[in-house]
Amino acid sequence: MKYYAPKGLSDVLPEEMPYWHAVGDEVRSVMSSYNYSEIRTPMMEKTEVFARGVGENTDVVSKEMYTFDDKGGRSMTLRPENTASAVRAYLEHKFYGKEELSKWYYLGPMFRYEAPQKGRSRQFHQYGAEAIGSNDPALDAELITLAIDILTSLGLEDVGLKLNSIGCPSDREDYVDDLVDYLEPRKEGLCSDCQARLTTNPLRILDCKNERCQEIVKDGPVITDYLCTDCQEHFDGVKSYLNELEIDYVLEPNLVRGLDYYTKTVFEVFSEDLGAQDALVGGGRYDELVELFGGDPTPAVGFAGGIERLVLLLEELERVSGSEGGLDLYIATIDDESKQAAMKLGRELRKVGLATEMDYLEKSLQGQLGYADRYDARYTAILGPREIENDELTLRDMESGDQVKVSLDNYVEEIVEKLIG
RNA sequence: GGGAGUGUGGCGCAGUCGGUAAGCGCGCUGGGUUGUGGUCCCAGAGGUCGCGGGUUCGAGUCCCGUCGCUCCUCCCA
């Protein structure tokens, strides 16, 4: 084989499409029910949108971006996530002047240069929501239930919610100071990555999976002890709403997440039925991001979910029927003359909305019936010299095998009648 | 960035110690049915064993390299 799709970029094949459609349909439907409107931002942005928005020290920006210079010498980057673009669009189109609260959702491809594995590819697809303009903890809870509702409406039940608050920047500053003070003397025990993080991004040490790092972190300071009154109240509010909504969650004080823009609430929805890449949805509040992009201080919260991982689960659980559509009618032909007529017939039937197929492979009648069978045609219209002679067609019910003659004068009505009536 | 596994007709696989094993199932084509699918029976087409070197009298099998794929670590969607 000479040509392959680039590593980590995979084709979504027709046979997988029912799952993708199910996810897309459910996302749109649930989002609408929560009054979120779709927005589509470009698949690439100027590099600084992500570099500034997501954070220079994040894994995503420092080593996972598809960045290149365009012909004008501008540094462009394929979007690794959609929040930064959404905020850019929010400001560019001055939504702060149009509405007090912007509730958006999106659906589309994202790109991160990483080693592909189960549930992770370089081009992947996310659906997500952003609510810009309110710091109400009820909105955090809304986003969380929205994310969960999409999953449960698709038939997933065993999903868990991890929840944490990382406070506002000044809380975090105090916390990071103490964390570094705590870790510095224990530096030797940390993995080499974490030793580096101690200076670049100490918070990331918290969710390092290395056992020794975890051991050390376990007895260190806990971020939720550092929340200011505002942040504490906010966090309590989120938890209280979740309790009211009977959403189970696990408090994870070490959940900090990989993007710099988060403040206060952070959360992840995960599945135990997935492999190493078990996060289905990740999100949180980003109250500083609009301001960072040059807007007035504007609180916001959002989440994103991975479609590939969701499809993987749906396939495993067989929660979505593996086929869609199906043929209403197959028109079998015998010779050139009947094929001419079949082309015309087929077009008429398609016009009234019937999925119609015919032979393009010069198959025998036997072969054509087999083909019709394989595609689950409900009826096969047989059109041969005998039918043409009598100005009729033979309509075969593919389940019962019953056949009737139908006049070519009113075949559309008769076939529609059989299929619908 | 590290680690492990894997590559044999379209698909899923078997291939023993290196020695007529290039084989099975599904699918496909034709026939049984000169115009009738699903079950069944018969026949048939289809493979430079990922690629390139090497060892050997002899390589799908062993060695080296290379490309691809998969999974893990890490991070996350």
List chain A domain ranges. Answer: 14-168+228-317, 329-419
pLDDT band for position A262 (cuts 50, 70, 90): very high
C-alpha distance from residue A376 to each of A93, A333, A372, A393 (Å): 49, 18, 6, 20
A191 burial level (CB within 10 Å; 0-12, 13-18, 19+): middle
Per-residue flag: A326 CB under 7 A of strand B: no
Buried/exposed code over A105-143 (b: 16+ C-beta within 10 A; e: otherwise): bbbeebbbebeeeebbbbbbbbbbbbbbbbbbbebbbbb
Which tokens in the block code for residue A402? 């019953």
Task: Please tell me the predicted confidence (pLDDT) of residue A316.
Answer: 82
- Segment A163-182 shows an average pLDDT of 95
pLDDT band for position A362 (cuts 50, 70, 90): confident
Task: Please tell me the predicted confidence (pLDDT) of residue A50.
Answer: 97
- Specify whether the CB–CB gap between A198 and A287 falls below 8 A: no
- Single-letter amino acid, residue A169: P
Could you tell me whether strands A263-271 and A37-38 are parallel, antiparallel, or unpaired per DSSP bridges?
A: unpaired
The interaxial angle of helices A229-244 and A137-153, nearest 10 deg, is: 40
Per-residue flag: A363 CB under 7 A of strand B: yes
Q: Provide, in whole angstroms, the distance separating residue A403's CA from nucleotide B29's C1'.
A: 28
Task: Please tell me the predicted confidence (pLDDT) of residue A177.
Answer: 94
Q: Strand B: which residues 82-111 of A lie within 7 A (CB)?
A: none
Q: Provide, in whole angstroms, the distance separating residue A4's CA from nucleotide B19's C1'.
A: 38
Q: How far apart are CA A363 and CA A357, in angstroms?
A: 13
Tell me the average pLDDT of chain A: 93
Q: Point out the nucleotide closest to A362 (alpha carbon to C1′).
A: B29
DSSP state of A184: G
* Strand B nucleotides within a 7 Å radius of protein CB atoms: 1-3, 28-31, 33, 35-38, 50, 68-77
> Measured between alpha carbons, how far apart are the two ends of chain A, in Å?
50
Per-residue flag: A2 CB under 7 A of strand B: no
Geometric angle at alpha carbon A23, from A17 and A25, rounded to 5°:
100
pTM of the model: 0.92
Q: Is the pLDDT of residue A166 over 60?
A: yes
Per-residue flag: A177 CB under 7 A of strand B: no
Which tokens in the block code for residue A207? 């969710």
Per-residue flag: A365 CB under 7 A of strand B: yes
Q: Over the stretch A296-334, which tens digit does the pLDDT of each residue have? A: 999 999 999 999 999 999 988 776 655 566 899 999 999
Q: Provide, in whole angstroms, the distance separating residue A322's CA from nucleotide B35's C1'.
A: 34
Per-residue flag: A370 CB under 7 A of strand B: yes
Per-residue flag: A301 CB under 7 A of strand B: no
Q: Is the pLDDT of residue A209 over 90?
A: no
C-alpha distance from residue A287 to each of A169, A339, A396 (Å): 10, 65, 64
Q: Strand B: which residues 131-170 of A lie within 7 A (CB)?
A: none
The interaxial angle of helices A83-92 and A47-54, nearest 10 deg, is: 110
Nearest alpha carbon to residue A272 among A161, A125, A150: A161
- Segment A388-412 shows an average pLDDT of 93
Other CB atoms closer than 10 Å to residue A46's CB: what's the count? 14
Task: Please tell me the predicted confidence (pLDDT) of residue A326.
Answer: 81
pLDDT band for position A190 (cuts 50, 70, 90): confident
Helix (H) or strand (E) holding A346: helix A336-351
Nearest alpha carbon to residue A264 among A236, A292, A294: A236
Topology given in CATH for the domain delimited by A329-419: Rossmann fold (3.40.50)
Task: Please tell me the predicted confidence (pLDDT) of residue A275.
Answer: 73
- Single-letter amino acid, residue A90: Y
At a CB cut-off of 8 Å and minimum separation 6, what does A337 contact? A385, A388
pLDDT band for position A377 (cuts 50, 70, 90): very high
Other CB atoms closer than 10 Å to residue A40's CB: what's the count? 12
Task: Please compute, for residue A350, the number of CA atoms within 13 A of its CA located in the half-sphere on the CB side.
Answer: 11
Task: Please tell me the predicted confidence (pLDDT) of residue A325.
Answer: 66
Per-residue flag: A232 CB under 7 A of strand B: no
- Segment A89-113 shows an average pLDDT of 97
Q: Point out the nucleotide closest to A256 (alpha carbon to C1′).
A: B76
State the CATH class of domain A14-168+228-317: alpha beta
pLDDT band for position A125 (cuts 50, 70, 90): very high
Q: Is the pLDDT of residue A357 over 90?
A: yes
Q: How far apart are CA A73 and CA A329, in angstroms?
A: 55
Cα dihedral across residues A313, A315, A316, A322: positive or negative: positive
Q: Point out the nucleotide closest to A308 (alpha carbon to C1′).
A: B77
Per-residue flag: A334 CB under 7 A of strand B: yes
pLDDT band for position A182 (cuts 50, 70, 90): very high
Nearest alpha carbon to residue A281 among A165, A159, A166: A159
- Segment A287-294 shows an average pLDDT of 97
Q: Point out the nucleotide closest to A399 (alpha carbon to C1′).
A: B38
- Segment A141-166 shows an average pLDDT of 95
Per-residue flag: A124 CB under 7 A of strand B: yes
Q: Is the pLDDT of residue A213 over 80?
A: yes
Per-residue flag: A117 CB under 7 A of strand B: yes
- Segment A22-31 shows an average pLDDT of 97
- Segment A211-227 shows an average pLDDT of 91
Could you tell me whether strands A329-333 and A356-358 are parallel, antiparallel, or unpaired per DSSP bridges?
A: parallel
Average the pLDDT over each of A42-56, A246-260, A313-327 and give the range with the smallest value. Answer: A313-327
Q: What percent of chain A has pLDDT over 90?
A: 77
Per-residue flag: A193 CB under 7 A of strand B: yes
Q: Point out the nucleotide closest to A269 (alpha carbon to C1′).
A: B77
Task: Please tell me the predicted confidence (pLDDT) of residue A1.
Answer: 63
DSSP state of A69: E
What stretches of A99-168 show up as alpha helix (H) in DSSP? 137-153
Q: What percent of chain A has pLDDT over 70?
A: 97
- Segment A86-103 shows an average pLDDT of 98
Nearest alpha carbon to residue A131 among A161, A93, A100, A94: A100
Per-residue flag: A260 CB under 7 A of strand B: no
Per-residue flag: A7 CB under 7 A of strand B: yes
